[in-house]
Chains A and B, each alone.
Chain A
């Protein structure tokens, strides 16, 4: 039973990490690739860690480190992704032509308009 859970968790984990890697190539511009790596890799890692937690938990080890790592990954990866996206936009890396709307720009205009009106 334990083995089954570990295998499933491992498989899911690997699947998402590989998915992230594939996204890295296939997606057109920085911002979309960003989603792939941060989101799916984090999920993939979580899967891995759960597998390890289950396996070692069953053997009676203290699984604190695994859970702590999951927490860390969930804390840091999104922040990293956010910072990169923000700075990419600020230094003006162009969106790919496929993108439909540039939300940041319109929000920026609103902010400027609100600013002018005061």
Chain B
């Protein structure tokens, strides 16, 4: 039961990464690209969680936690860079 649902969800998540990539490549402004990267990271985290579910291992929790915390690091740095012209002043 879990297996089949997980497979379906994984395919859906996989497909959901394509718009993010499209936005990264196409995105009119840098802000779009940043948001798309964020969306991509979240999708990746979702896939990793699902995979660790199906394989019944807890090894990937560190990776997921790291992505959760640091996912916003890039966004914040870029946001400040856009406004201030330098990320760390």
Contact = CB atoms under 8 A, between A and B. Distances in A.
Interface residues of A, number: 51
Chain B binding surface SS class: helix
B43 A41 contact: yes
A84 B80 CA distance: 9
A65 B46 contact: no
Nearest to A38: B38
Contact of A6 (B2, B22, B34, B35): B2
Interface residues of B, number: 49
Contacts of A44: 42, 46
A83 B75 contact: yes
Interface of B: 1-2, 5-6, 8-9, 12-13, 15-20, 22-23, 29, 31-32, 34-36, 38-39, 42-43, 45-46, 49-50, 52-53, 56, 58, 61-62, 64-65, 68-69, 71-72, 75-76, 78-80, 82-83
8 contacts: A7-B1, A7-B5, A11-B5, A37-B35, A37-B39, A38-B38, A69-B65, A80-B79
